[in-house]
Amino acid sequence: MNDSDKRLAALAAIAEVRAGMIVGLGTGSTAAFAIAALGEQVRAGLQIKAVATSLATEASAREAGIQLIEMPARIDLTIDGADEIDSALNAIKGAGGAMLREKVVAAASDRMLVIADGSKRVGAIGAAKIPVEVLPFAHAFVADRLAALGGAPVLRAGFTSDQGNPILDCRFPADIDHAALAAAIDAIPGALGHGLFLAEVDAAYIATDGVVTRLERGETSA
Ligand SMILES: O=C[C@H](O)[C@H](O)[C@H](O)COP(=O)(O)O
């Protein structure tokens, strides 16, 4: 992981932010660079409103002087990190446990950008753990269903989400059909959200050794 590349990716993405937009702010160390840079622009006069995907992001945005609003029905542009992303813009998110709110924000967004350093880019997603946020009441049941899907769920020790829920980190076989897997997890009562983002990401800015590459959904190269 490379902070200078994270920052470069973040700067490239925030160039898409326009005055008057409602902006979704992601969670994690890469999104933090976008929040800091947007804060600088806000202090220089840029007028935006923002929605935070986590309590940590809310605190950072507030500190940066960015105006925060409650989750609206529609967001113009969201900028968020990822744990893995492939060339088809499939992503795994949630190492920081924020994927449930991140999924809501991404789904509400006209456009969602992933920002990452090159370590996150993979040929095909699947090596990273896929986190599943669980209703506490349903924990044993959901764990059993995830195990039956091949996920070998492990409770994230000493952690609850911003919603106060436990997270089960799952390692599925790398060659699993992720679309079918996402649908299967979505269908488990008590599984509140998971880290597979298969349709949400519109574009990614990925920086490697100081060079930013933009991947756009529907384009083979950019
Ligand atoms: O729950 C955390 C989020 O999905 C993050 O966006 C993701 O884990 C990437 O975080 P980072 O930029 O710190 O690697």
Confidence of residue 222 (pLDDT cuts 50, 70, 90): very low
- Tell me if 81 is assigned to a ligand binding site: yes
Q: Which residue has the tokens 């929040």?
A: 35
Q: Where are the alpha helices (DSSP H) in the chain?
A: 3-14, 29-43, 55-64, 99-108, 139-148, 178-186
Q: Report the atom number in ligand 1 closest to the C-alpha of 131.
A: 1
Catalytic machinery residues: 102
Q: Could you give phi then psi for residue 192, rounded to 5 degrees?
A: -90, -25
Compute the distance from residue 142 Cα to the ligand 1 centre, in Å. Answer: 24
Minimum CA distance residue for ligand 1 atom 3:
94
The string of pLDDT tens digits covering residues 147-194 is 999 999 999 999 999 999 999 999 999 889 999 999 999 999 999 999
User: Sign of torsion, CA 120 124 130 132?
Assistant: positive
Compute the distance from residue 116 Cα to the ligand 1 centre, in Å. Answer: 9
Per-residue confidence (pLDDT) for residue 1, from 0 to 100 = 64
Lining ligand 1 with CB less than 6 A are 26-31, 80-83, 93-99, 102
The yes/no answer to whether this complex scores an ipTM above 0.90 is: yes
Confidence of residue 220 (pLDDT cuts 50, 70, 90): low
Minimum CA distance residue for ligand 1 atom 10:
28
Residue 16 has pLDDT above 80, yes or no: yes
Per-residue confidence (pLDDT) for residue 221, from 0 to 100 = 46
Per the document, the length of the chain is: 222
Q: Report the atom number in ligand 1 closest to the C-alpha of 29.
A: 13
Per-residue confidence (pLDDT) for residue 174, from 0 to 100 = 82
Compute the distance from residue 39 Cα to the ligand 1 centre, in Å. Answer: 20
The string of pLDDT tens digits covering residues 101-160 is 999 999 999 999 999 999 999 999 999 999 999 999 999 999 999 999 999 999 999 999
Residue-range domains of the chain with CATH: 3-122+198-210 (3.40.50.1360), 130-189 (3.30.70.260)
Best residue among 1, 4, 27, 196 to mutate for probing ligand 1's pocket (most ligand atoms within 8 Å of CB) is 27
Q: Report the atom number in ligand 1 closest to the C-alpha of 102.
A: 4
Per-residue confidence (pLDDT) for residue 52, from 0 to 100 = 98
- Tell me if 96 is assigned to a ligand binding site: yes
CA atoms within 13 A on the CB side of 66: 29
Compute the distance from residue 84 Cα to the ligand 1 centre, in Å. Answer: 9
